[in-house]
């Protein structure tokens, strides 16, 4: 109504001043009314009645705003990275030059193509990296051979995995047994190749000799590997290189088929341990003291192994001359009710080394079936001999 009144007043003023004809004034009035209506619709003069306030929208859920990749996408990305990692661990490369004490960059030769690439932890000159800007095989090789193992591990998304697969069989979940690797794999020790000199005396001439020798040892680090080599009689200068035991394609195929999640940096021992758990449907956690015991005897085991399997590896890794003492220790644990490896007296105590079996008993000890998977047979003469030895020395 206010608009109509205003238009009429304007028309009356124009008629009084200019004496315009009535039809012209009518057309002018219509145009003014249309113009005023357009202003109100397009943000001009606000209407006299305010519209109801809009209801505020609830913030969107972060889960919905960031859609999770599908299982198919995860599987495709995982297989692609797995392929690059396998090439980095199996193809023939060589570091030609390393830049700086921090090993920030290197020139790496691909022996298959003959090309040399300048590589850092974040870049590479190869076409694969330029296309996808994701870690290529040269970058992964560089990381593995400069000790940056953990930086190349990709955590497996923990959603989407079940404790059972489509066949209804129990699936081992590896992150229940270990969380972070310290090398190429999830083991207490890693295989190292150590080259040094072995000194001795020539049987022919009787003169001192020194020859180059390479040994494989299980160790925690380069320094520990040198110490292990020195225990075997090697002397400097040393050349130390960590060894990578890559899982086979058959092992990877088994993991994929059984729907078992696995870490990309797993070695063959890790994969074998997961597959053994799957076959045995054994989800028992392995106690820390067994890993410590294995480390003491320089026996390499995976953190994914079953407790019984770790005990078996320790037994198999102990030299034959020390097995009578280990057998006596096992009898002591069984008689006192302590878990193997977690008794008050240490397994390498000199008291156990005093047990000397007969020749027949030694044969039995060296060929005990299923050691670690079942209790020792108390009815055997060897067990009774060890028990009497312990009783005579007041172990019980």
388 and 293 in one domain?
Answer: yes
- Residues 272, 278, 283, 288, Cα dihedral to 10°: 0
200 and 172 in one domain?
Answer: no
12 CB-side CA count, 13 A: 6
- Contacts for 304-307 with beta carbons within 8 Å, 24 or more apart? 304/172, 304/174, 304/177, 304/178, 304/186, 304/270, 304/273, 304/274, 304/277, 305/273, 305/276, 305/277, 306/273, 306/276, 306/277, 306/280, 306/282
Query: Do 343 and 332 contact (CB within 8 A), yes or no?
Result: yes
206 and 170 in one domain?
Answer: no
290 and 387 in one domain?
Answer: yes
pTM of the model: 0.74
365 and 292 in one domain?
Answer: yes
Q: Residue 82: what pLDDT?
A: 86
Would you give the distance in Å from CA 224 to the centre of its chain? 23
- Give the number of residues written for the chain: 396
Q: Decide if 115 is inside a domain.
A: yes
Gap between the Cα atoms of 14 and 5, Å rounded: 15
Q: Decide if 384 is inside a domain.
A: yes
165 and 221 in one domain?
Answer: no
Q: What is the CB neighbour count within 10 angstroms for residue 158? A: 9
- Residues 204, 206, 209, 214, Cα dihedral to 10°: 60
Q: Residue 312: what pLDDT?
A: 96
Q: Residue 35: what pLDDT?
A: 54
333 and 373 in one domain?
Answer: yes
295 and 342 in one domain?
Answer: yes
203 and 130 in one domain?
Answer: no
List, for the chain, all residue ranges whose pLDDT scores fall below the cut of 70: 1-78
- Contacts for 63-71 with beta carbons within 8 Å, 24 or more apart? 68/157, 68/159, 71/160
Q: Decide if 43 is inside a domain.
A: no
The H-or-E segment that residue 17 falls in is helix 2-18
Q: How many domains does the chain have?
A: 4
197 and 165 in one domain?
Answer: no
- Residue numbers of the domain that contains 218: 190-242
290 and 370 in one domain?
Answer: yes
Gap between the Cα atoms of 294 and 303, Å rounded: 11
383 and 299 in one domain?
Answer: yes
Q: Decide if 377 is inside a domain.
A: yes
Give the DSSP letter string of 58-92: PPPPHHHHSPPPPHHHHHHHHHHHHHHHHHHHHS-
Q: Decide if 61 is inside a domain.
A: no
Query: Do 181 and 153 contact (CB within 8 A), yes or no?
Result: yes
Reduced to 3 states (helix: H, G, I; strand: E, B; else coil), residue 142 is helix
Residue with tokens 């820390």: 288
């Amino acid at each position: 109504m206010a608009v109509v009144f205003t238009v009429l007043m304007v028309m009356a003023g124009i008629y009084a001043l200019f004496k315009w004809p009535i039809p012209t004034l009518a057309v002018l009035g219509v145009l003014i009314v249309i113009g005023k209506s357009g202003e109100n619709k397009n943000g001009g003069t606000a209407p006299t009645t305010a519209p109801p306030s809009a209801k505020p929208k609830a913030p969107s859920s972060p889960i919905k705003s960031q859609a999770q990749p599908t299982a198919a996408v995860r599987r495709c990305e995982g297989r692609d990275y797995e392929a690059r990692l396998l090439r980095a661990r199996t193809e023939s490369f060589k570091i030609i030059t390393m830049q700086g004490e921090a090993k920030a960059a290197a020139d790496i030769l691909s022996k298959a193509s003959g090309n040399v690439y300048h590589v850092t932890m974040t870049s590479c000159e190869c076409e694969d990296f330029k296309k996808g800007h994701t870690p290529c095989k040269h970058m992964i090789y560089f990381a593995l051979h400069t000790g940056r193992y953990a930086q190349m591990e990709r955590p497996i998304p923990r959603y989407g995995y079940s404790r059972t697969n489509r066949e209804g069989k129990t699936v081992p979940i590896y992150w229940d047994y270990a969380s972070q690797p310290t090398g190429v794999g999830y083991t207490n020790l890693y295989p190292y190749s150590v080259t040094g000199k072995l000194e001795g005396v020539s049987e022919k001439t009787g003169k001192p000799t020194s020859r180059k020798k390479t040994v494989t040892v299980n160790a925690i680090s380069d320094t520990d590997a040198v110490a292990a080599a020195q225990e075997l009689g090697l002397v400097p200068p040393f050349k130390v290189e960590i060894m990578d035991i890559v899982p086979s394609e058959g092992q990877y195929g088994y993991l994929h088929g059984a729907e078992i999640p696995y870490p990309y940096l797993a070695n063959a021992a890790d994969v074998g341990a997961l597959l053994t758990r799957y076959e045995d449907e054994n989800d028992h956690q392995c106690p820390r003291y067994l890993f410590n015991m294995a480390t003491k005897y320089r026996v390499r085991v995976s953190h994914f192994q079953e407790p019984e399997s770790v005990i078996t590896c320790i037994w198999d890794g102990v030299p034959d001359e020390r097995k009578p003492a280990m057998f006596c220790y096992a009898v002591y644990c069984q008689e006192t009710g302590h878990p193997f490896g977690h008794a008050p007296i240490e397994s390498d105590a000199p008291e156990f080394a005093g047990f000397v079996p007969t020749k027949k008993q030694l044969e039995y000890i060296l060929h005990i079936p299923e050691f670690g998977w079942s209790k020792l047979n108390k009815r055997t003469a060897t067990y009774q001999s060890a028990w009497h030895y312990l009783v005579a020395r007041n172990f019980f």
